[in-house]
């Protein structure tokens, strides 16, 4: 890599960290404390004056609650994957607040759980293959009309009072 490209990446990752910190409404001091780095060092990283190591980026990512992979890509340490997973994409979006990110991920996870349950229940339904290769499903039974039991309960009470006779 050329020096210009490295400096651009360092500046870019610094801007990204600053935007994530601002979006999470976190002070520089708080982020520095959570990440285990000094205030001046983090300030220099955000301004693009220092290139943080992979370990420091991981600590910052954890403190910001974003994927460390996202920060590695921003810093030029990893190539961007063509299809990032949903969690990485949501957590890496600088335009969303921390609360919006958490809500989006909760909705996404609930959809996945619901789909998983539906798939499991549909796979439990037995299908049988016939000799000619056609697949037939289970036959649904007709619903049985429920008869009101108010009379039968009354009749049962009378029967018990009369010693089993009606």
* Cα 60 to Cα 36: distance, rounded to the nearest angstrom: 8
Residue that is written with structure tokens 């004056």 in the block: 49
CA 65 from centroid of its chain's CA atoms = 13
Predicted structure pTM score = 0.47
In the chain, domain spans: 3-116
More confident residue, 106 or 134: 106
> What's the pLDDT tens digit per position in 100-125?
988 988 888 888 788 878 777 776 66
- Per-residue pLDDT band for 133 (boundaries 50, 70, 90) equals low
22-31, 49-58, 93-102, 156-165: range with lowest mean pLDDT: 156-165
Q: Which CATH superfamily is domain 3-116 in?
A: lambda repressor-like DNA-binding domains (1.10.260.40)
Q: Average pLDDT of the chain? A: 75
What the block records as the tokens of 132 is 């000619």
* Cα 65 to Cα 53: distance, rounded to the nearest angstrom: 18
Q: What is the mean pLDDT of residues 125-142?
A: 50
Question: How far is the first Cα of the chain from the last one, in angstroms, to the nearest whole number?
Answer: 99
């Amino acid at each position: 890599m050329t020096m210009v490209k490295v400096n651009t990446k360092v500046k870019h990752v610094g801007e990204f960290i600053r935007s994530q910190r601002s979006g999470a409404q976190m002070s520089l001091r708080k982020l520095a404390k959570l990440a285990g780095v000094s205030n001046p060092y983090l300030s220099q990283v955000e301004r693009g004056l220092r290139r943080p190591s992979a370990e420091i980026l991981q600590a910052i990512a954890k403190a910001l609650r974003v994927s460390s992979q996202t920060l590695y890509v921003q810093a030029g340490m990893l190539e961007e994957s063509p299809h990032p997973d949903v969690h990485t994409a949501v957590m890496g979006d600088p335009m969303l607040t921390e609360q919006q990110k958490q809500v989006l991920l909760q909705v996404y996870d609930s959809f996945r759980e619901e789909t998983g349950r539906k798939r499991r229940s549909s796979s439990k339904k037995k299908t049988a293959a016939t000799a000619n290769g056609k697949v037939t499903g289970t036959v649904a039974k007709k619903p049985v009309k429920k008869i009101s039991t108010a009379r039968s309960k009354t009749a049962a009470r009378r029967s018990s009072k009369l010693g089993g006779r009606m």
